[in-house]
A and B are shown apart, each in its own frame.
Chain A
Amino acid sequence: MPYQFGLLRLCQSALQGGEGKSGALILAVISALLFTLLFDANVPNARADDVTTSVTVLNTAPTWTVDAQENIGSSTTTPTNSGSVVSWIGTATDSSGDNYYLLICKTSGTPTANISAAPTCNGGVANQWAVSASTGSGLQATAATTTRETFPFQNELNDWFAWVCDGNNPLPRCNLAFRQGSGTTSSPFVVNHPPIFTAISNDGPVDPGDTMTWNSTASDTDVAGVADTVQLIVCRTSGFSNGTCTGGAWATSTLASSNPATTTTIVIPTQDALYSAFVFVIDNHGHSATSTFQGFNSSFTVNNVAPSVSAATVSLEDTDGSGNLTLVTPSATTGPFRVRFTATDNNSCQATVGNEIATATINVYRSGITQAGCDSSGEYNPNNCYASSSPNFSPFVSCTQDGASCSGTSDTTSTWTCTFPLWYVADPTDTATPWTAENWLTSVSILDDDGFSSGLTEGSTGNEMTSFLAFNVTETAIGYGGLEPGQQNDPLATTTDLIALGNIGLDQDLYGDTMCTIWSAPDSCDTNGINPANDIPVSNQKFATSSVGYASTTAFTLTGSTTPAELLIRVPKTTATSSPQERDTYWGINIPSAITQAGSYLGQNTITAKKSNSSFW
């Protein structure tokens, strides 16, 4: 029976290659042929009874349609961070149309299929990574598990074996062929463990402009592929997501094998205050450390630093803000003069509360006195030194920050204005004075809200003090007394004073007018010429600096307005504010013998004060 040998071969073939639909088909054909042979050869023909036949077709295991692989490749370059899900996908078809399970095991041992339940890995649950839900034949199954830092994910590299099984009842079957994916989605999957972060420190406090450093103790145990590196990130707020500070970063280190450190320059300006700095360590895959130091506030203090004044910005100004310093009040103070300057503070012009610069003080002095010569109370001198520490000056000084000159915390500067008065004796430095080569200067000191001082800064440029010619004559008239014609004041006895009420020494020019009894205005007596009987010529009056005889050569003849006579009376410059310098002029008159009219003679003399030679001040 050669065909019987042929059947045997077919049987062998079906059993050996039996897989899929072709195997089942062959088995079915063989069964039919055997049935025919058996009944043809052994069963007598022409039996009258019918025979019932039956066969049980056994369940077959699902077959792979799409090989299993990691859904998202988990490799040494793209590991799965602990805490993240690793998942697998695969597709199988069951010839019976049964649902199937995708089972991910740790070993290649054949798993056990279970009736109407998920299969189990060889060795039990301990050897199982994941199993899918029951999935319809031909549909993609997904198995997933969430990784952890610890067992069973403590290893970086984790082999996996994928199986497909059905839950057929009564004969659940697993496909005996496992799959391990291919390329970057193949076994093993790689678990990235978090960095180990155990300490943080910083080198604060620091000044604005200095470098601030954070040092961490941190490392990473993962070495698969290339050993992991770690990075320190310092955030301004506690917000941290996906390796980025959500509220801005102070500093970010480079990746280091261990103990990353990072620095930042504290910008100028930065307010003096305590600043929060939340520290985070991540590895080169962006995986965050999990220790208590992660997100720790490694705060630091920015120091208060001393403010300063730019010498070039210091200006000493007149009351109207322009031109030379000009005194305008005889025998008193003039003001307010102004000192303006720019204050600079690396803590910004704005403090956490109010202005950073709290107060300012000024010394104002003639340059020859020098800054060092006018920086203490005892050096106060109304002629040339107005020291802020002096009770004679400080009560009259007012310094304020100019409104709107501080634009906020990013502004280091603010402008200030100080106002103050000066006495009328303040030394002039303009032309024809003993101090022409000098000028007036100011030195400024500012104090911040924490009491830090700038020290004194002298302005680069000063200003000139203008000569102030101011005076008074106490007398309003000259009384020569009662004289007969031909008589004279001898010696000159009547006096007028000349009081220096400005900042210079004085001389005077004098002139007079013809006198008569009906004098009403200058030149009113001699409009039609001098009448010897009724008019007293101006030249009959004499003056001198002392009580000399009328005929003395040092008694000078008064002249008319066109040719005033100069009297070098040399009133010194006043130096004491409460006792102005003064000198007297002595007057006398000779009554012409020709005068016949008795009576009260009137006239007017003019005293013109002028600046004297400074050598007599």
Chain B
Amino acid sequence: MGHFSLSPGSWVQRQDIALVGAKMRSMAAKHRRFFSMRFSLVTLIVFFVCAPLAHAGFGITPPYVNNQRLTRGTVFEQKITLVRSDPSEDLTAEITMNIPGIESWFSVDRGNTFILPKGTTQIPIIVRVQVPEDAEYKTHEGTIRVRTSSAAAGPQGSGVSIALGAQIDVDIEVVDKIYDFSVRKIRLSDLEEGRWKWGLFFPGKIRFLMTIENTGNTDYGPTGVRFEIYDADMETLLETTENTNTIESIPPFAIQEVLAELPTRLPAGRYKAKYTIQKGEEVAQQDVLDVSISTIGSVPGYEGYGFGGLSNADKLKVAGFVGIPLLIVLSLAVILARRRTSRPHVRW
């Protein structure tokens, strides 16, 4: 809905929203003739306000690209979601950057011009920051603007139309390498108690999952996990155990769930565990959680430890049972081979 003005205080509503080109000029000519009659020799400028659409809510989140921990050679990606509340038509989004000196570091996965399709309320874009290997250690600030306009060709109304845009603030700093992470979430998978087989005790497997955000700028992650397992009243320490697997490292700035596997020899029951997530020599997180160990066969899909989870004593047993005979066989083979090679050749 728009308006145009004939004279101050006299507004006429127009419904025709397709008034463009020649029609516009024809109408202007009619006005010129009308005003020529009333105001001879006076040129009148008329600003039509004839817009095709009402604006709907538009937004971006987050409205920034911030990272104070970039280092040389790293890539940082910030997902920014463009949103609008009434996607009744295609819109063209244009991205312009004003980040003095480092614009070449920045790129957008969808390019600098793309369509916000009709019917879609959210369009994520990835702003990628590629820090050169020779980047100076310093702070950079700037802005990225996202401007939207109708994707239809030509003016969609008359007068001074309004386009909407949103600003993404850029604030980055290039620094030396930082190894750091934060723990966003932890969880435990259900587990069963250990079991005896072939005279060996295969312990239960605690699967401790940590959602880690690498807040440094180098591949990194938890360096170790330790569980101190107490009775349900947290009065008696029953077992201390540490991860047996290598915990996966996480790329810089990524959020990822990683797994620590810990053996437990405790029987079925409920326990409290004080867990410690190590960040090198530091403690990244320490807290208490409930540990429920179920009876054998009660957890669907559960897979316990294999030989890797055996105690050192049991490993020695296995080594003795398998390794020694193997060693004997190998030794015999070597001796026989040596004898054959050292036997004097009979020459006829």
User: For residues 294 through 345 of chain A, which have their beta carbon under 8 Å from a beta carbon of chain B?
Assistant: 308, 310-313, 315, 317, 322-324, 326-332, 340, 342, 344
Complex contacts, B43 vs chain A, CB 8 Å: 484-485, 595-598
> B164–A607 contact, CB under 8 A?
yes
Number of interface residues of A (CB under 8 A): 94
B338 to chain A, nearest CB (A): 58
User: For residues 446 through 494 of chain A, which have their beta carbon under 8 Å from a beta carbon of chain B?
Assistant: 460-461, 463, 466-485
Assess A408 versus B162: contact at CB under 8 Å? Given A461-B184, A468-B61, A481-B5.
no
User: For residues 325 through 375 of chain A, which have their beta carbon under 8 Å from a beta carbon of chain B?
Assistant: 326-332, 340, 342, 344, 346
Partner of B57, one of A209, A342, A471, A479: A471
User: For residues 503 through 522 of chain A, which have their beta carbon under 8 Å from a beta carbon of chain B?
Assistant: 504, 509, 512, 515, 517, 519-521
Closest residue of B by beta carbon distance from A404: B300
> B5–A482 contact, CB under 8 A?
yes
> B83–A328 contact, CB under 8 A?
yes
Segment of B132-140, B150-158, B243-251 in the binding face:
B150-158
Instruction: Check: A277 CB closer than 8 A to any chain B CB.
Output: no
> A411–B58 contact, CB under 8 A?
no
7 residue pairs from A and B, CB less than 8 Å apart: A269-B292, A329-B83, A346-B270, A413-B188, A472-B58, A509-B145, A596-B43
Instruction: Check: B240 CB closer than 8 A to any chain A CB.
Output: no
A126 to chain B, nearest CB (A): 60
Complex contacts, A312 vs chain B, CB 8 Å: 186, 275, 287-289
B310 to chain A, nearest CB (A): 24
> A611–B63 contact, CB under 8 A?
yes
> B59–A502 contact, CB under 8 A?
yes
A347 to chain B, nearest CB (A): 10
> A519–B232 contact, CB under 8 A?
no
Closest residue of B by beta carbon distance from A593: B43
Residues of B within 8 A of A (CB): 2-8, 24-25, 27-28, 31-32, 35, 39, 42-64, 66, 81, 83-85, 96, 121-122, 143, 145, 147, 149, 154-155, 157-167, 169, 171, 183-188, 190, 211, 232-233, 255, 268-270, 275, 287-290, 292, 294-295, 298-300
> A600–B48 contact, CB under 8 A?
yes
Q: Mark A575-617, 1 if CB is under 8 A from B, else 0.
A: 0000000000000010100011111111111111111000000
CA distance A310 to B56 in the complex (A): 44
Instruction: Check: A155 CB closer than 8 A to any chain B CB.
Output: no
Q: Mark A253-272, 1 if CB is under 8 A from B, else 0.
A: 00000000000000111000
Assess A473 versus B55: contact at CB under 8 Å? Given A413-B190, A479-B159, A598-B44.
yes
Determine which residue in A479, A504, A564 has the highest number of CB atoms from chain B within 10 A of its CB, and name it. A479
CA distance A611 to B169 in the complex (A): 8
> B63–A479 contact, CB under 8 A?
no
> B294–A411 contact, CB under 8 A?
yes
> B269–A267 contact, CB under 8 A?
yes
A462 to chain B, nearest CB (A): 10
> A469–B59 contact, CB under 8 A?
yes
> B4–A479 contact, CB under 8 A?
yes
3 closest pairs, A vs B, by CB? A470-B59, A330-B57, A476-B51
> A482–B7 contact, CB under 8 A?
yes
Closest residue of B by beta carbon distance from A460: B287
CA distance A463 to B182 in the complex (A): 12
> B160–A269 contact, CB under 8 A?
no
A301 to chain B, nearest CB (A): 20
> B32–A598 contact, CB under 8 A?
yes
A185 to chain B, nearest CB (A): 43
Assess A591 versus B45: contact at CB under 8 Å? Given A413-B292, A608-B165.
yes
CA distance A517 to B6 in the complex (A): 17
> A412–B155 contact, CB under 8 A?
no
Instruction: Check: A496 CB closer than 8 A to any chain B CB.
Output: yes
> A209–B232 contact, CB under 8 A?
yes
> A512–B160 contact, CB under 8 A?
yes
Complex contacts, A328 vs chain B, CB 8 Å: 59, 61, 81, 83, 121-122
CA distance A268 to B267 in the complex (A): 11
Assess A476 versus B233: contact at CB under 8 Å? Given A502-B59, A517-B28.
no
> B190–A609 contact, CB under 8 A?
no
Determine which residue in A344, A411, A603 has the highest number of CB atoms from chain B within 10 A of its CB, and name it. A411
A415 to chain B, nearest CB (A): 7
> B187–A415 contact, CB under 8 A?
yes
Assess A605 versus B184: contact at CB under 8 Å? Given A330-B84, A410-B294, A476-B53.
no
A sample of 8 more A-B contacts (CB under 8 A), given A477-B51, A478-B162, A611-B167, is A267-B268, A322-B255, A407-B190, A407-B298, A470-B58, A480-B160, A484-B43, A602-B161
> B190–A600 contact, CB under 8 A?
no
Instruction: Check: A501 CB closer than 8 A to any chain B CB.
Output: yes
